[in-house]
Structure 1
Amino acid sequence: MAQGVDHPPHITLDGTPLEIVDHFCYLGSTTTSNLCNNKEIDTRIGRAASNFGKLSTRVWRNNKLTITTKILVYKTCVLNTLLYGSETWTTYSKQERRLNAFHMRCLRVILGVTWKDRVTNEAVLSKTNCNSILATLKQRRLRWLGHVHRMDTERLPREVMLGQIADAKRRVGRPNLRFKDCCKRDMDSFNINANSWETRANERLLWRRDLRAGTAIYDEAWLDNIKQKRLRIKNAAPVVDPRFTCDKCGKKCRAAIGLFSHKRKCLRH
């Protein structure tokens, strides 16, 4: 795999040419040539879904186990598989939404809740006593940042993560998101001062306490934002297209499928 070259290199080993690939798996994580985490997230979701399905009969549908026990099994066998290596991920909003959708779907299956029950995400997280996947992802990323910061200055992970390339220039336009950009965004979400985080991270217990408090702050703000968005949608005036009007009773529908369903009932009565 090569990066930043117009023509891929030709490398042979004992006379056998090596295959040119754009991604490969190393130590359980997928590395890509375009620095995108989509393949890694696809792999993580697939393996977590496989583990979740294997435990369906023995755990999730077992009426003899309490919700607390099922959540402990879920966090150990499914959630850790889903977020393996996530401490170093540089994630975009679309990728985080995919992880959150899988997380909420699993929790609803554990509780036996379907979409027909009209149960909100706030209620699901409250019943399972779980954090949102976004808060968990941010917490893991900042814990890893503090761990690397406490390393000796000669350690390679610290030099790579906290170092900078001399005289480097980024391309014109919106650049790719960097790991430190995600960390700054996470600190802002957790109400951690980005200018003095090194002092807090030097004390491991103090840094862990700040992250636990930040997780609660982020989840509260995130759930409140979802609630306000739901209220805005509920109170908004419906947009009615005059094309979708019943010829018989004059009822106005919002979409063609709604008009089709209404006409069947209207003609029947």
Structure 2
Amino acid sequence: MIDSHCHLDLLASKVDLHTSLETAKAAGLTRIMAPSINPRSWEALQALSEQHSSLLPIDTALGLHPYFLTDSNQDNTASTTDLPEQAIDENLGQLEAAAATLHPSVKAVGETGIDGHISVPLTLQKKVLHAHLKLADTKALPVILHHRKSHHLLLEAFKQAKYQGVGVVHAFSGSVEAAKAYIERGFYLGIGGTITYERARKTRDTLKYLLENHFDKILLETDAPDMPMYGRQGAPNEPQYLSDVVDVIHELFAISPKQIISITTQNYLRLFETA
């Protein structure tokens, strides 16, 4: 199994990371993609990749998450004054510099995207996303996208940026129509803990369509330490629980765990061109 979206630096602040990774490996995990959220995150993840390389391969990505463009927006109280244009431009400059001398672990650009739930101005989120898409095209790297109430805005951004690359829409929970729109552009869709909840009927219906028509476009993910699996609420999510996602797909759609793991592993390696 490969966890295509796990915030290892955030997880490390909640659990003993080495123990967590050992447990995940024992549970069948073979690789992790660790997207970043800000410049401090890039350095932390690259160090973790080196530190734990003998245990598990850890790929990383360079990005500025829309949710963390300011320190105050975690409680949805960010205002325009919290977002000086100069500071954002400096971060984007750091992103360009980091991409100029890529750390060996970097396999993608992200996490970036558009979030319709936070008060960070959409104009700023679009500007930052546009910069990421341009960088991904320039470096020929896939992009890792965050979405909340923003599928139409992301698809619009691809056109505006004339984005020619591919990537993954992580924690996908959209309709069949939204899924088709991304797949037509060559994107993959990340499937995680949402499907372990019975109330996620729309996402499960979309997943059924994807399994029947586009199994080659599905990745597995935890989004650890967030998005806990059903029955594990109240504790940090961990990469070892990726098997919960596999188990639910098996139970709902009668696909063998071996096939689920084999196909999604091939999908991951194809997208990120790693082995």
Instruction: Please say whether Structure 1 and Structure 2 have the same fold, judged by a TM-score greater than 0.5.
Output: no
Between Structure 1 and Structure 2, the one with more strand by share is 2
| Short-chain TM bin | under 0.3
Q: Which has the larger radius of gyration?
A: 1
Give the alignment's TM-score, normalised by structure 2: 0.25
TM-score of the pair, normalised by structure 1 = 0.25
